[in-house]
Amino acid sequence: MAAETHSTNPATMDTRQNDVIIEVRDANVSFSMDRGESRVLRDANLTVQRGEVLGVVGESGSGKSMLASAMLNAVVHPGQVDGEVIYHPQNGDPVDILSLSDKELAKLRWNEISFVIQAAQSAFNPTMTVGAHFEETLRAHGEDRDAGMAHARELLSDLYLEPDRVLGSHPHELSGGMKQRALIALSLVLKPEVLVMDEPTAALDLLMQRSIIGMLEDLQEKYDLTMVFVTHDMPLVTDLADRIGVMYAFEMIEIGSTDNVLDNPSHPYTRALLNAVPNISDRDMEIRGIEGRSPDPVNIPKGCTFNPRCPLATKECEVNDPDFRDIENDHEVACFHWERAREDIPLVARGDDSHSEPSTDGNGSFGGL
């Protein structure tokens, strides 16, 4: 449908195919609460290829932030993580991030894998200049200050910010979009391999969101980054991501190349989710929600977690939790009825291919905002 709009051509995808940089195996995150154990990430399994952009989408409370935190072993206290997150450095042996000591973690984070938190607007200490945050980070990792700051300036320029003005400002003197971009620059100052972003464009207006996506695309190319981009905004990530993973009820339910997931969604939830995206060219502007509500993390439905809301659910779905199955090249789905889903849940015609509709060609045009 819209294959030609994606930046990565299939040839380069294939060469990357088996150059895994992060492997998540059976990762679980749980919080113990008075009313029971709250499992906010369940048996997450996925691989991230070196140099790709993986988009993770899901509604609020689907566990996507937990997946992002788990990748850096940075789940907030008192959350418990188990499973394995294996990081394959460019040269050197793979390490399991979840079994590193605090000291080793402090070395790995930001240096190899960096993180942009959800609350970007409060990510800077209000009593320090933005520049001091950069210097402090370089010092904490024993990096050369001058070389590091030169890199910081370059990053800020890449993000269409004036380095001198931003570095000398206190956080309250910057706009939301500037703070967001300064945070992205801060997360890249130690030249990490991987950048994990948790809703990096939350709390920004649509224009700024779009222009940040454009800038991320450029950064990814320039610095050969691997990115994991977590968002609830499906249309936003489709232009950037090479692959998309869809989460529902603390589990990954469908993952595959962006084209496969968008053009050929095979999980009933993914199909319903895509149908729920409102379309501006739709005359009657009908909002098609999904019946019911997403489950409580303490009390997750037996079998397939989507079965209470799924129009295709059968007895089997109530008893067994479906495993991931390969349905085509680079497309996996956790559903027993994925073949029926394609026929029984027709995709609503989305005008002229909505997922690439708001083009980001003007990534520099809003840069000066």
Partner 1 sequence: MYYAKRIGQSILVFLIAVTVTFALYRMLPFGPVEMLKIQLMQQFIEQGSSPTPEQMAKINGMVQTYTGIDPSQPWYISYYEYIRDIVLYQDFGRSIFKQEPVFTILFKAMPWSIFISIYGLALGTTVSLLLGAGMAYTEGSRFDTGLTIFSIINTTVPYYVVAILTLIIFSFNLGWFPSGGRMDPATTPGINLPFIIGVVKHAALPVFSSFIAGFGGALAFRGNCIREMGEGYIRVAQLRGISKGRIAIRYVGRNALLPVYTSIMMGLAGLFGSSIILETIFNYPAMGYVTFNALLNRDYPLIMGAFIFFTAITLLGILVADLTYGIIDPRVKGGSNREAY
User: Residues in the site for partner 1, rule: CB under 8 A?
Assistant: 72, 74, 76, 106-107, 109-111, 115, 117-129, 133, 136-137, 140-141, 170, 172-175, 178, 183, 186
* Distance of closest approach, residue 202 Cβ to partner 1, in angstroms: 12
Q: In this structure, which amino acid lies at residue 210? A: R
Residue 66 beta carbon to partner 1: minimum distance, rounded to whole angstroms: 14
Are 270 and 254 in contact by the 8 Å Cβ rule? The answer is yes
| Closer Cβ to partner 1, 194 or 253, answer by number | 194
- Strand-pairing partners, residue 37, are 32
| Helix locations, the chain, DSSP H | 10-16, 64-71, 102-108, 130-140, 145-158, 163-168, 176-188, 206-223, 234-238, 258-263, 268-276, 315-319, 338-344
Q: Smallest distance, Å, CB 247 to partner 1?
A: 22
DSSP β-ladder status, 95-96 and 113-116: unpaired
Query: Whole-number minimum distance, CB 197 to partner 1, in Å?
Result: 13
Alpha-carbon distance 157 to 181, whole Å?
A: 10
98's tokens: 């979840």
Instruction: Report, in Å, the least distance between residue 117 CB and partner 1.
Output: 6
Of 3 and 202, which has the nearer Cβ to partner 1?
202
Choice between 119 and 150, CB closer to partner 1:
119
Q: Report the nearest approach of partner 1 to the CB of residue 201 (Å).
A: 15
Coarse DSSP helix, strand, coil percentages of the chain, rounded to the nearest 5 percent: 35, 20, 40
| Residue 328 to residue 250: CA distance in whole angstroms | 24
